[in-house]
Amino acid sequence: MLTIYSEDHRKRDAKTELCGGVLVEPFERPSRMDFVLARLKETGLGKIIAPKDYGLEPLLQIHNKDYVAFLETCWEEWTAAGMQGEAIAASWPARRMAQKCPVDIDGKLGYYALAAETSITQGTWEAARASANVAIEGAHRLLDEKAIFSLCRPPGHHAALDMYGGYCFFNNAALAAQALLNNGLNKVAILDVDFHHGNGTQDIFYNRDDVLFVSLHGRPEDEFPHFLGYADETGEGKGKGYNLNLPMPKGTTFEAWRNALHQAMDRISDYSPRALVVSLGTDTFEEDPISSFKLKSDDFYTYGQDLAQLNLPTQFIMEGGYAIDAIGLNAVNVLQGFEYGANQT
């Protein structure tokens, strides 16, 4: 299996995250990729290549142009304002407040942020751009491959049309799906298996029927991002019926999770897409520090085999996973399971 990867992800090396009322070392850090790369090389899964630079045009097909411009200049504006730390939102346009973007950078942060845990740092723009290129390159390569792994960092599935948060800035899965559509595949499915709901992906495709979005995740009553991911969110307009959320409670075991996965696969089969994009978060792992599902490392291999049964060209997009010592094992288990399953079909 070909892997797409960029060393430019290291340009984002945030030092600040707000968690439990205190500042902590961010759970989403550059070393996550080192463990995945080491496991890829150990298993000999396949060649690892760098992406081309696809410019801003693909980003503007998915994200609001003012939002993209904000991300490009945020750090420069923040430092020009004399701020000493990393850029973190401190206020939001909450209920019954004006939904207008301020001129001041402190206000802009709140306008475009969906949560306060994610700081913007020097190098964030460059790393997010590189991650987007990794996703887009993978989509183009998928036209000639059975499966592709886009080793994206920073992750993307929380990034909405015009909002960042949950460590995400550009929505890599959405960018990949759009690239596949642009290449003539008229229907694409996105399956999000990250522990946290892919609110950004849902937001982008909620009114569309050319992309089916299916998400398995912790219940929003209990888990970030809290304000999206309920089972009654099924799409609007042309997108009605093309959004399926399968939320599950704390402590969900692999047996229950796998039942939901098979439900998701049935819906994908009914949709008959030309390709599948998998938002691959491994934070369903039982030892993940910010999640509560109970999957074991062997379970990732098993559900990789399950996904191969869909018999679709499949692009895996790296999302979350914060039990860092195990992220390489768990992510590559999915890929190896998929390859094994594909060879059996």
Parallel, antiparallel or unpaired: strands 243-248 and 275-280:
unpaired
Instruction: Write the DSSP assignment of 239-275 as a string of letters.
Output: GTT-EEEEEE-TT--HHHHHHHHHHHHHHHHHH--SE
Hey, which residues are catalytic here? 158
The beta-carbon contacts of 46-50 under 8 Å, at least 24 apart in sequence, are 46/1, 46/2, 46/3, 47/2, 47/3, 48/3, 48/4, 48/5, 48/151, 49/2, 49/3, 49/4, 49/5, 50/4, 50/5, 50/6, 50/7
Structure tokens at 88: 């973190």
Region at 240 (left for phi over 0; alpha for psi -120 to 50; beta for the rest): beta
Structure tokens at 244: 């399926």
DSSP-assigned letters across all residues of 60-99: HHHS-HHHHHHHHHHHHHHHHTT--S-B-------TTS--
CA angle 282, 294, 202 (to 5 degrees): 50
CB atoms within 10 A of CB 18: 15
Q: Tell me the one-letter amino acid at 315.
A: Q
DSSP H or E segment with residue 40: helix 31-43
Contact 168, 159 (CB under 8 A): yes
